[in-house]
Amino acid sequence: MNPPSHYRGAIVLTIVSLFITSFLPKASAQESIIGGNDATPGDYPWMVALVDKGRSPASGQICGGSLIGERWVLTAAHCVTNGQGQTVGPGKYDCWINLHDLTDTTNGIQRSISKIVVHPNFREDQFGTLYNDVALLFLDTPVNTITPIDIAVDGTHTADDALVRVIGWGATRRNGSGFPDILKEADVNIFNFGRANRAYFGDLVRGPHLPAGKGDGSKDSCQGDSGGPLFATNGGNPVLVGVVSFGNGCAQRGEPGIYARVSTYGTSWIQPHLDLTFGDPELNVLGRGIEIPNADSSPSRADNTLFGVTRQGRSSNKSYHLANLSGGALIVNAVAARGRSFSVKRKPPVFTAAGGSSAFTIQFNPRSRRKSVRTRIIVATNDPTTPVRTFIVRGRVRRR
Specify the residue, 220 or 383, whose C-beta has the smaller distance to ligand 4AZ: 220
Q: Measuring CA to CA, which residue among 279, 210, 295 is closest to residue 244?
A: 210
Specify the residue, 94 or 255, whose C-beta has the smaller distance to ligand 4AZ: 255
Specify the residue, 225 or 383, whose C-beta has the smaller distance to ligand 4AZ: 225
1: contact with ligand 4AZ by CB under 6 A:
yes
191: contact with ligand 4AZ by CB under 6 A:
no
| Shortest Å, Cβ 164 to ligand 4AZ | 13
Distance CA 76, CA 133 (A): 5
Site string for ligand 4AZ, 243-272 (x = CB under 6 A): -x-xx--x------x---------------
Q: Measuring CA to CA, which residue among 396, 399, 343 is closest to residue 373?
A: 396
CB atoms within 10 A of CB 289: 10
101: contact with ligand 4AZ by CB under 6 A:
no
User: Is 78 considered catalytic here?
Assistant: yes
Q: Which of 32, 66, 226, 245 is catalytic?
A: 226
3-state secondary structure of 267: helix
Q: Which of 66, 78, 209, 296 is catalytic?
A: 78
- Which position among 32, 61, 81, 221 is part of the footprint of ligand 4AZ (CB under 6 A)? 221
| Shortest Å, Cβ 171 to ligand 4AZ | 8
In angstroms, how far is CA 210 from the centroid of its own chain? Answer: 17
Distance CA 67, CA 72 (A): 6
DSSP per-residue string spanning 280-300: ---EEEEETTEE--TTB----
| Shortest Å, Cβ 221 to ligand 4AZ | 4
84 burial (CB, 10 Å; 0-12 / 13-18 / 19+) is exposed
Kindly state the number of chain residues that form the binding site for ligand 4AZ, as judged by CB under 6 A. Answer: 13
| Shortest Å, Cβ 203 to ligand 4AZ | 14
Specify the residue, 139 or 260, whose C-beta has the smaller distance to ligand 4AZ: 260
| Shortest Å, Cβ 167 to ligand 4AZ | 13
35: contact with ligand 4AZ by CB under 6 A:
no
Q: Are 347 and 399 in contact (CB under 8 A)?
A: no
- Which position among 158, 223, 264, 324 is part of the footprint of ligand 4AZ (CB under 6 A)? 223
Q: In the complex, which residue's CB is closest to ligand 4AZ? A: 247
3-state secondary structure of 307: strand
Q: Measuring CA to CA, which residue among 54, 64, 8, 75 is closest to residue 183?
A: 64
Q: Measuring CA to CA, which residue among 204, 194, 197, 211 is closest to residue 259?
A: 211
User: Is 112 considered catalytic here?
Assistant: no
Q: φ and ψ at 365, to 5 degrees?
A: -135, 90
Distance CA 41, CA 30 (A): 17
Residues designated catalytic: 78, 133, 226
Binding site for ligand 4AZ (CB under 6 A): 1-2, 220-223, 225-226, 244, 246-247, 250, 257
